[in-house]
Amino acid sequence: MLTDRHRVVLLQHGGLDDMRGKTGLALLRYRRGPVVAVIDPAHAGQSLRQACGIERDVPVVATMAEALVHRPEVAVVGLAPSGGRLPPEMRSDIAAGLRAGLSLASGLHSRLGEDPELAALRRPEAWIWDLRREPDDLVVGSGRAAALPCHRVLAVGSDMSVGKMSTCLELRAAALARGLDARFVGTGQAGILIDGRGVALDAVRVDYAGGAVEQAVLAAAEGAAPGALLLVEGQGSLAHPGSTATLPLIRGSQPTALVMVHRAGQETIRNLDDVPLPPLPELIACVESLAALGRPAQTGPGPRVKAVALNTAHLDERAARKAVEATALLTGLPCADVVRQGGQSLLENLLEGGKKRASEGTRTPE
């Protein structure tokens, strides 16, 4: 429903400098279409650079009435609050947008299209897209993506919220800059809002999760040639006690390569200090072992982790360089912060025929 042509206003109420606003912040960084205004009363009048460090020239206003001056067509909920419920402070601005004829896109668990008050305000020519819905016609996964001719790269993370989506989007940008056919499969609300399609994996019953990913990958790969690159957004982590998302992503996408995403220096699950992260080489070996299972016989050996995308956002430039070098030495893999440095340096290693890992043949047998 949402395309790159739509003029978007982001509802960020209090989320420009808070992790609750990560959906909207991702759109500000990666949406290719126009974002004409951001609503955040706490930062009204500031530049985005002042409010959140993002270099994009978009006015920050206090209300929908002020945003309408910039002629938006779609209001997008940019918050991802705990529990996924509509924040009360956002309701009046959503109502004002619907009254003015705007369409609405939301990744909240609250179904805004089923809210009687909001649904009554929608004009006939407008729509309300609650993207966090289980797809129709679900099937159980069967490994069909393994037959696709294109490269399929899945981002896997050491934890949640380490930058799996950003890694995929930066790699896509690097591939497009080289003239490659590069496509993205969004599996969370921000990724779907950025690309306009995908599957909201956390809305799918677990028995059908692999099949839902498979269907999304097959749809995104339609018409793709052998040289095309399909980048699948990862979710969750095998190391997180509350996450079940990584396995259906592996099964459904049948990747030809994996990229490990990790936050530099992190040793425990975020907000669960009593749950340690395994050393990266151990986690990489675990992911590769799991990815070798559940594959059609004719597809050959399982995919390998071919690179590490390191999140160094919390480090200064000197410390970031040291962390990248140390991680490359520890894992024997190419390593870069693709947000800071771009994705070109890792792209070759994620394509078939890229360089072998530096430590090939020297690692402890798995």
Q: Does residue 358 surpass a pLDDT of 60?
A: no
- At residue 356, the pLDDT reads 46
pLDDT tens string 1-16: 899 999 999 999 999 9
Query: pLDDT-based confidence at 349, cuts 50/70/90?
Result: confident
The answer to whether residue 22 is domain-embedded is yes
Q: Does residue 63 surpass a pLDDT of 60?
A: yes
pLDDT tens string 118-129: 999 999 999 999
Query: pLDDT-based confidence at 364, cuts 50/70/90?
Result: very low
Same domain, 116 and 257: no
- At residue 299, the pLDDT reads 87
- At residue 352, the pLDDT reads 58
* pLDDT: which is higher, 356 or 17: 17
Same domain, 180 and 31: no
- At residue 353, the pLDDT reads 47
**Segment 70-82 mean pLDDT:** 93
Same domain, 110 and 192: no
Q: What are the C-alpha distances in Å from 180 to residues 55, 124, 184, 192?
A: 26, 40, 13, 21
What does the chain come to in residues? 366
Mean pLDDT taken over the chain: 92
Give CA–CA dist 50/298, Å, rounded: 54
Same domain, 249 and 313: yes
Q: Mind spelling out the 3-state secondary structure of the chain?
A: CCCCCCCEEEECCCCCCCHHHHHHHHHHHHCCCCEEEEECHHHCCCCHHHHHCCCCCCCEECCHHHHHHHCCCEEEECCCCHHHCCCHHHHHHHHHHHHCCCEEEECCCCCHHHCHHHHHHCCCCCCEEECCCCCCCCCCCCCHHHHCCCEEEEEEECCCCCCHHHHHHHHHHHHHHCCCCEEEEECCHHHHHHHCCECCHHHCCHHHHHHHHHHHHHHHCCCCCCCCEEEECCCCCCCCCCCCCHHHHHHHHCCCEEEEEEECCCCEECCEEEEECCCHHHHHHHHHHHHCCCCCHHHCCCCCEEEEEEECCCCCHHHHHHHHHHHHHHHCCCEECHHHHCCHHHHHHHCCCCCCCCCCCCCCCC
Same domain, 20 and 155: no
Parent domain of 325: 144-350
Same domain, 44 and 68: yes
Same domain, 264 and 313: yes
**Among 130, 164, 188, residue at a domain's last position:** 130
**Segment 37-50 mean pLDDT:** 96
Q: How many domains does the chain have?
A: 2
The answer to whether residue 359 is domain-embedded is no
Q: Does residue 60 surpass a pLDDT of 90?
A: yes
The answer to whether residue 3 is domain-embedded is no
The answer to whether residue 355 is domain-embedded is no
The answer to whether residue 362 is domain-embedded is no
Q: Does residue 360 surpass a pLDDT of 90?
A: no
pLDDT tens string 134-181: 988 899 999 999 999 999 999 999 999 999 999 999 999 999 999 999
The answer to whether residue 294 is domain-embedded is yes
Place of tokens 């069909």: 144
Same domain, 221 and 89: no
CATH of the domain at 327: 3.40.50.300
- At residue 267, the pLDDT reads 96
Q: Does residue 354 surpass a pLDDT of 80?
A: no
- At residue 277, the pLDDT reads 97
- At residue 18, the pLDDT reads 85
Same domain, 63 and 184: no
pTM for the model? 0.90
**Segment 22-49 mean pLDDT:** 95
- At residue 81, the pLDDT reads 80
**Among 105, 130, 155, residue at a domain's last position:** 130
**Among 92, 108, 130, residue at a domain's last position:** 130
The answer to whether residue 168 is domain-embedded is yes
Same domain, 158 and 22: no
Same domain, 181 and 239: yes
The percent of residues above 70 in pLDDT, for the chain, comes to 96
CATH of the domain at 110: 3.40.50.720
Same domain, 229 and 308: yes
Q: Does residue 357 surpass a pLDDT of 60?
A: no
Query: pLDDT-based confidence at 279, cuts 50/70/90?
Result: very high
